[in-house]
Amino acid sequence: MSGLNPTGEVSFYDNGVLIGTATLVNGVAIFTTLPLNFGTHSFTATYNGSGTNLSSSSTVSAVVMSGNVAAIISIINSILLDD
pLDDT digits (tens, 9 = 90+) for 21-47: 999 988 888 888 887 778 888 889 999
Segment 12-23 shows an average pLDDT of 92
Give every CB contact of residue 26 below 8 A, 6+ residues apart in sequence. Answer: none
Res. 82: pLDDT tops 70: no
Best CA proximity match to 39, nearest among 71, 12, 74, 66: 66
First to last CA, the chain: 11
* Cα separations in angstroms, 40 against 24, 66, 81: 27, 11, 28
What sign does the CA torsion over 83, 79, 46, 59 have? positive
